[in-house]
Amino acid sequence: MHVVIAPDCFTGTLTATQAAEAMAAGWHDTAPRDALTLLPLSDGGPGFIDVLGRSLEGDTVAVTVSDPLGREVPGAVLVVERDGGRTAYVESAQAAGLHLLAADERNPALTSTWGVGELLLAALEEKPDRVVVGLGGSGTNDAGAGLLAALGAGPAHDLARGGRALATAPDDALSGLLAVREQLREVDLVIATDVDNPLLGFKGASAVFGPQKGATPEVAQELEGALGRFTEIVARTLPEPLDLLSGAPRRLEREPGAGAAGGLGYALLLLGGRRVSGVQLVLESVGFHDVVRGSDLVITGEGTFDWQSLHGKVASGVAEAALEAGLPTVVLAGQVLVGRRETMGLGISGTYAVAETPEQLDAALLDPVGTLRARAARVARTWSAGR
């Protein structure tokens, strides 16, 4: 039996590679005769560069950038030459990731995306034809204002002090935005997102993702107003773009993916970027369809399999691609918070949680590799035909 193991990272505990290796070890414990292919994945969030670097022949350029609170952290740009073009890949979570913040530091009213701008500048120094920015797993909610400041679109004291400060930003805070757009005009800027949320509203960045980053309901409401103010500044600065087909005005804050990574998607749209599904881009880059050809089962997973997992995340992308290939998919996650009815439409044949009780969750956090390995071994007893 041939099994493809293709998980995302288990946020906060395991990288995608570590998760795949733990699953493979557990499966081998039960079914040592099965052939296993490990294919760690990402949807644009943490691990984006590592995952692509395993499959794409390219050079990794090491850089030092700022984290959400302005401290120096290591980052990298992956530069790939292919089909006569040069592409630079950037992982925004390296500079804006929630994992860079201690629990008592998580406050999206204060965190900035300045460091993501530094990553983008490093990518542009490589003279690429295309820049792909992976979005996801952020600890910020500033609509990408910090990124724009780092690129020279406006003063750092107006734009790089977190989302809350945007409420009092002056009308001319983005006086350099047009010049930055012009500098990027010859670059194909691709926004690889894990979600399709707009910037504002009940499905926007502040309302949906703010609480995950430490925002209280009051802070989330405050951020909603501050980001609304930011869109007013944009409207005063940037001519309203038009839809190429209909000629109708485009409200970029309403575009799918504008709310990704706390609004980083919005800032990149302002710079002329175009959005793609992060997981689909990764699946194509790593040759997922070729890898699964001739296999019997696909296993994917992530830390928490919930309603968000059903839309644009690795698990849903893998399941849909496997379904096209006529293969069953099994999800193995730290926690499973959705039922069978919600997953059947994606072609998921089974979901299995490492932790089903608070006690098991504590054990999983203390020994993520061991508990994931043990759960994979039990799943193999159900699914392996060769044990």
Residues 263 and 122 in one domain: yes
The C-alpha atoms of residue 149 and residue 307 are separated, in whole angstroms, by 34
Residues 316 and 366 in one domain: yes
Q: Name the residue range of residue 320's domain.
A: 2-41+298-383
The C-alpha atoms of residue 117 and residue 125 are separated, in whole angstroms, by 12
For residue 14, the model assigns a pLDDT of: 93
For residue 250, the model assigns a pLDDT of: 83
The answer to whether 128 and 118 have CB atoms below 8 angstroms apart is: no
Query: Which of 250, 279, 308 represents a domain boundary (last residue)?
Result: 279
The C-alpha atoms of residue 362 and residue 13 are separated, in whole angstroms, by 12
Residue bearing tokens 């069953």: 328
Q: Is 181 exposed, middle or buried (0-12, 13-18, 19+ CB in 10 A)?
A: middle
For residue 343, the model assigns a pLDDT of: 85
Residues 36 and 53 in one domain: no
For residue 387, the model assigns a pLDDT of: 60
Amino acid at 386: G
Query: Which of 279, 310, 327 represents a domain boundary (last residue)?
Result: 279
SS3 track for 136-179: CCECCCCCCHHHHHHHCCCCHHHHCCCCHHHHHCCCCCCCCHHH
For residue 140, the model assigns a pLDDT of: 98
Query: What total number of domains does the chain contain?
Result: 2
Angle between helices 48-55 and 16-30 (to 10 degrees): 70
Mean pLDDT by 10 residues, the chain (387 residues): 95 92 96 95 94 93 98 98 93 97 96 98 97 96 98 98 97 97 96 94 96 96 98 92 73 95 98 95 94 93 88 89 92 90 85 88 89 95 82
The C-alpha atoms of residue 132 and residue 152 are separated, in whole angstroms, by 20
The C-alpha atoms of residue 110 and residue 142 are separated, in whole angstroms, by 9
Is residue 176 assigned to a domain?
yes
